[in-house]
C-alpha cells in the first residue's frame, strides 16, 4: 500500500485492507470522489483513475506532486525551511535542537515562531505560482500537528505547529507517493459529486465516494458550507442515477453514532436494497482530529453490487 503524504481528514489509508476486497476485481475507469489525499485511488487496481475533490488547495497540491519532480519539490521545501528558520534534522541532525525539546513536544518549541510566520505567509496568498503555493502548503503540512490538512470557514490553513519536521520518514513517504502517481494513469480534478452525472461512465467503470458524514462532528465541516441534509439527499439522488444506469458504486459513511442515526441514508439503503458492509474500525486512536473521538460509530461501506 502506498501512503499519501496528505493526512487529510477522513483519510482511508488505514481502512484499505477492508475496503479494497469489496471493490470489483476488474475496473476500467475508477472515480475517487471526495478523494482527499487520494489514498484509495492510488491503491486501486484500475486502468485509469480520476480523483475529484472540491477543495482547490488539495487538488493543486496533488497536481503539483504529480507533475513536478521529487527533487524540485524537495529543493523548494528546503528553501522554505531555510527562509523561515525551521528545523532540518535530515540535513543537520537532531542534536543541535535537543536544548529546545521539552517533555513530549519534540521540535514544537523550536519551530513555533517560524511555522506561524510561514502559515501567515501562505494564507496571505503572497506566492506567484501554483507550484510554489502548493509546495508552501506541503511544507506547512510537514510541520503542522499530525501532518493534517485542514482549512477554516474562510479557507485559511489553520493547523497548529507539530512536533516533527521534513525528516527521513516524510521524505520516504513523498518518494513512495511520487513513484505511485508517476507509474499510474491518474488525474486530479476540482469538482463536487454532481459531476458524476456528466462523466462518460460505463458498466465496467466504478465509483467510490467518501463524502462528509452527516451525523458526525468532524473538523472538515469547519471548511466552507457544512454538509447538511440537503447535500446528503442530493448525493444519494446522484448515486441512484448511477444505479439506474448500471454503474457500480461504493459509498463510505456512518449509519449510527451514539444515539444518532442517519435516517436519510438508512431509508435510502432499504428502499433500494443495497448491500451494507460493516467496517471494523474506531477513529478514537486516529489522527483525524474529530471533535468527539469517544462516541462509537457504525461505519459502513454501501454497494449496489455483489463482489
Q: Is 162 exposed, middle or buried (0-12, 13-18, 19+ CB in 10 A)?
A: buried
Give the distance from CA 140 to its chain's centroid.
15
pLDDT value, residue 307: 77
- Structural domain spans, the chain: 7-54+191-303, 62-177
Distance CA 256, CA 226 (A): 19
The pLDDT of residue 290: 44
Residue 186: what pLDDT?
Answer: 96
Classify residue 118 as exposed, middle or buried by CB count within 10 Å of its CB (0-12, 13-18, 19+). Answer: buried
Strand partners, 157: 151
Contact residues for 285 (Cβ-Cβ < 8 A; gap 6+) = none
Query: What does the pLDDT look like over 46-101, one tens digit per residue?
Result: 999 999 999 999 999 999 999 999 999 999 999 999 999 999 999 999 999 999 98
Q: Domain 62-177 is classified in which CATH homologous superfamily? A: Adenine-specific Methyltransferase, Domain 2 (1.10.1020.10)
**pLDDT at residue number 82:** 98
Helical pair 130-143 and 70-83, crossing angle rounded to 10 deg: 70
Which residues make beta-bridge pairs with 33?
A: 52, 209
In the predicted model, residues of the chain with pLDDT beneath 50 are: 220-222, 283-292
Strand extents, DSSP E, 28-162: 29-33, 48-53, 148-149
Q: In this structure, which topology does domain 7-54+191-303 adopt according to CATH?
A: Rossmann fold (3.40.50)
Q: What is the reported pLDDT for 286?
A: 44
d(CA 84, CA 72): 19
* Dist. CA 155–CA 213, nearest whole Å: 20
pTM, to two decimals:
0.89
Amino acid at each position: 500500500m502506498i501512503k499519501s503524504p496528505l493526512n487529510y481528514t477522513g483519510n482511508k489509508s488505514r481502512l484499505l485492507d477492508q475496503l479494497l476486497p469489496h471493490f470489483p476485481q476488474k475496473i476500467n475507469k475508477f472515480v475517487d470522489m471526495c478523494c482527499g489525499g487520494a489514498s484509495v485511488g492510488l491503491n486501486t487496481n484500475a486502468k485509469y483513475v480520476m480523483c475529484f475533490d472540491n477543495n482547490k488547495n488539495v487538488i493543486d497540491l496533488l497536481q503539483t506532486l504529480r507533475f513536478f519532480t521529487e527533487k524540485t519539490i524537495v529543493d523548494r521545501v528546503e528553501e522554505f525551511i531555510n527562509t523561515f528558520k525551521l528545523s532540518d534534522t535530515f540535513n543537520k541532525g537532531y542534536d543541535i535542537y535537543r536544548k529546545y525539546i521539552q517533555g513530549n513536544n519534540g521540535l514544537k518549541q523550536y519551530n513555533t515562531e517560524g511555522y506561524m510566520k510561514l502559515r501567515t505567509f501562505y494564507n496571505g496568498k503572497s506566492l506567484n505560482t501554483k507550484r510554489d503555493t502548493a509546495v508552501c502548503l506541503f511544507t506547512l503540512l510537514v510541520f503542522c500537528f499530525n501532518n493534517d490538512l485542514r482549512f477554516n470557514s474562510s479557507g485559511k490553513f489553520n493547523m497548529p505547529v507539530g512536533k516533527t519536521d521534513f525528516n527521513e520518514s516524510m521524505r520516504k513517504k513523498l518518494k513512495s507517493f511520487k513513484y505511485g502517481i508517476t507509474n499510474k494513469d491518474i488525474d486530479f480534478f476540482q469538482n463536487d459529486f454532481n459531476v458524476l452525472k456528466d462523466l462518460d461512465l460505463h458498466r465496467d467503470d466504478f465509483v467510490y465516494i467518501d463524502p462528509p458524514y452527516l451525523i458526525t462532528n468532524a473538523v472538515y465541516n469547519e471548511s466552507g458550507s457544512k454538509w447538511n441534509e440537503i447535500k446528503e439527499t442530493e448525493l444519494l439522488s446522484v448515486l441512484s442515477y448511477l444505479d439506474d444506469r448500471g454503474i457500480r458504486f461504493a459509498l463510505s459513511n456512518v449509519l449510527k453514532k451514539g444515539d444518532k442515526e442517519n435516517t436519510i441514508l438508512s431509508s435510502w439503503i432499504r428502499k433500494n436494497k443495497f448491500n451494507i458492509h460493516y467496517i471494523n474500525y474506531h477513529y478514537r486512536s486516529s489522527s483525524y482530529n474529530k471533535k468527539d473521538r469517544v462516541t462509537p460509530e457504525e461505519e459502513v461501506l454501501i454497494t449496489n453490487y455483489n463482489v
